[in-house]
Amino acid sequence: MSAGHRPCAECRNAEYKRFLALWQGCYGAANADSMDATLHAQRLDGKAKRTYRAPLASLPDGTYVLFEGAPWLLWEGAMFEWTDGGYAGRRSRPARADAEVLTPAASVAVLAAGYRPALHPTAHS
């Protein structure tokens, strides 16, 4: 989700329908093409990754942030550091810190509306 993608309508249809329903609750009528266009515009500024700053406490579970130079997943009061080999570190989410948000704003809204993404198995170990 940090890269600005949504669940695939074909291979993850149930998840896609859940994501779509929450998206429509946030933004109104939509389909795969309109969601993809919005996510693409929010994730790239030319060829550069588009980000924005926000307080960590304001972001829902499932959001990815850049914090202290590393990418982290926010999940259940904790932060999980993402590496090429999966999640490598865990720490408490600071109550009073800002971070650079990697997840597009529309996806953050869908997460805040209740979408729960599947996590890489290393987040549970």
pTM score, whole prediction:
0.92
pLDDT of residue 120: 85
pLDDT of residue 2: 66
pLDDT of residue 5: 87
Read off the pLDDT band of 3 (50, 70, 90).
confident
Read off the pLDDT band of 8 (50, 70, 90).
very high
DSSP annotation of 68 reads: T
pLDDT exceeds 80 at position 107: yes
Read off the pLDDT band of 119 (50, 70, 90).
confident
pLDDT exceeds 70 at position 113: yes
Distance separating alpha carbons of residues 117 and 13, to the nearest angstrom? 13
| 39-57 tens-digit pLDDT | 999 999 888 999 999 999 9
For the chain, the residue count is 125
CA angle 45/54/80 to nearest 5° reads 95
pLDDT of residue 99: 97
